[in-house]
Structure 1
Amino acid sequence: MKTVGLPNTDERAGRRAGTLSAAVPAVRGGEGHTRAAIIRLLLEEGPITATAISTRLGLTPAGVRRHLDALIDSGQARASRSAPWQQKGRGRPAKQYQLTAAGRGQLGHAYDDLAGAAIRQLGEIGGDQAITEFARKRARTIVAGIEPLREHGPQIPSRAADEADPAGAEAETTAEAETTAEAETTAEAGMVAKAEEIAGALSDSGFAASTRKVGAGVQICQHHCPVSHVAEEFPQLCEAELEVFRELLGTHVQRLATIANGDCACTTHVPLTAVPAAGRTAQAKARAYTEPKTTSPSAVAQPATVGTNDDSGRSAE
């Protein structure tokens, strides 16, 4: 069963909203759609305040709190006080609301038992390698159609003529810096766009994914996991996702949290600065090891002096 991101203007978002409404426990008439919209915000933005929800959905704070109280009473949501650094203005910290594990369960973990049994049977027949291969194929199917990010490395001009033309060296260095800065900006934009493309594919598969810029990186946040109960037993599902992210983004990515481990979202950090993936790192080390290095006269290796004192002692004897 698919869940959704926040409402958009496109047709796909409309289909997702209808799917989430169907996953919400029966509530009378328009109440069900309102409840579904609130749950969607708790899912994707939680922890979030009642005031923020009312602003986003155009509802009265009192009406929002009534729905939140009902969700808390049913065990689907919980409230906590904002941290002092999150508080705006004076007074008591505002309450923030988020879904509980039971609330997430209402969004559909269809066929969990069947899926778990099938993967266990697969493991008995083919071993761990069969489970790993299944997880990889599943992850690649989710992002099918997304092309790997192409490298946008800056073209560095040759320095061969620097000594012959010192006057032009400074201008060339400035041009290099401008070229490098422009290339880095292009590469960052490409990385962010590719992360958003991956998040879109994940949302289409029920993960309610989004991206957000954090410091010198971008995070892919999966606010729902249709297979979290199965992933608790088979972490290969999470590992395969991460592997596919690395392949598509062409850089090392780091998993910060997972729903399967009890976190409120699966969060993957993607650095915007160049961090080579494992394969590229090995290639770079190989090149560095084999490429000749230019050394200054003062850096020419001197004869080894290890054991000199011992040798001198024996000579004196």
Structure 2
Amino acid sequence: MKDDMDLSTRNKIMQMLKTSGELTTKELTDQLGITGMAVRRHISILERDNLIVSTTVRLPMGRPAAVYRLTDQAEDYFPKKYHAVALDLLAELEGEAGENMVNHLFDLRKTTLMQRYESKMANKDLEHKVAVLSDIQNENGYMATWEKSGDEFVLTEHNCPISRVANKYNHACNCELNLFESLLDAQVSRTDCLANGDKKCVYRIRPQ
């Protein structure tokens, strides 16, 4: 219970810094209604986690004070509705140029990603390629893991940053499957898909 209260207090501090920009320890203490020692403990944890940073400023009266603000990393903790913007833009494009143009856009993205990552696959066997692909997907927020199962490899994605887009425009999933086949130079089949309501995306990979 105490851990939940501590987390709630740190969330409040981040919300306050988000709306105010910068605050001193005293300002945080006054607004939260808790002791200065408790605020400093929470601040120490937030600094350790690279969510806030401080600078020392001179005040009109008294000693210089530390002023706290959010780091760039902290922005990830606040709601972002990028998918809504993306869906709106794709709907506008579909209305103006048709579904084929939307599909063409996903094809272009696949080509761009292929050009970006194919050098990482050069001169590697299939197992190392799967490991590299898993790392690439993790860097992009897919929470990927992989394992060898008999004579095939299984790549599992526990998160899909574009699931809402892919749910409406399934060609995005087809492009990802084709991208994996091209990067790995292997047979790839998808047995589970987050965009279709499954709990994860699962790819089964076999040598050509």
Normalising by structure 2, what TM-score? 0.57
Q: For the residues of structure 1 that align with 2:163 and 2:78, how far apart are their CA atoms? A: 12
**Structure 2 contact 120–132 (Cα < 8 Å) conserved:** no
Secondary structure (helix, strand or coil) at the match of 1:115 reads: helix
Which residue in the other structure is 2:137 paired with? 202
Which residue in the other structure is 2:187 paired with? 252
Partner residue of 1:216 out of 133, 141, 151:
151
Partner residue of 1:127 out of 83, 93, 98:
98
Over the matched positions of the two proteins, sequence identity in percent amounts to 22
Higher strand share: 2
Letter of the structure 2 residue corresponding to residue 222 of structure 1: E
Q: For the residues of structure 1 that align with 2:78 and 2:160, how far apart are their CA atoms? A: 9
Partner residue of 1:116 out of 83, 87, 92:
87
Secondary structure (helix, strand or coil) at the match of 1:253 reads: strand
CA-to-aligned-CA distance 1:102-158 (integer Å, 9 cap, x gap): xxxx9977312111111111122222222122112334445623338568xxxxxxx
| CA 1:260–1:216: 2 relative to 1, 3 Å | same
Q: CA RMSD in A?
A: 3.0
**Structure 1 contact 258–265 (Cα < 8 Å) conserved:** yes
The answer for unaligned runs of 5 or more in structure 1 is 1-25, 33-105, 152-188, 276-317
Which residue in the other structure is 2:6 paired with? 28
Q: For the residues of structure 2 that align with 1:118 and 1:27, how far apart are their CA atoms? A: 40
CA-to-aligned-CA distance 1:59-91 (integer Å, 9 cap, x gap): xxxxxxxxxxxxxxxxxxxxxxxxxxxxxxxxx
| CA 1:267–1:145: 2 relative to 1, 3 Å | same
Q: For the residues of structure 2 that align with 1:27 and 1:196, how far apart are their CA atoms? A: 40
Q: How far is 1:216 from its partner?
A: 1.1
Note if 1:230 corresponds to 2:168: no
Note if 1:145 corresponds to 2:117: yes
Q: How many residues align?
A: 138
Larger Rg: 1
Q: How far is 1:227 from its partner?
A: 1.4
Secondary structure (helix, strand or coil) at the match of 2:117 reads: coil
CA-to-aligned-CA distance 1:223-282 (integer Å, 9 cap, x gap): 10111112111101111101111111112210111101111111111114xx3xxxxxxx
Letter of the structure 2 residue corresponding to residue 145 of structure 1: Y
Letter of the structure 2 residue corresponding to residue 258 of structure 1: C
Q: For the residues of structure 1 that align with 2:128 and 2:101, how far apart are their CA atoms? A: 33
Pairs within 5 Å for 1:4-43: 28-29=6-7
The answer for unaligned runs of 5 or more in structure 2 is 11-76
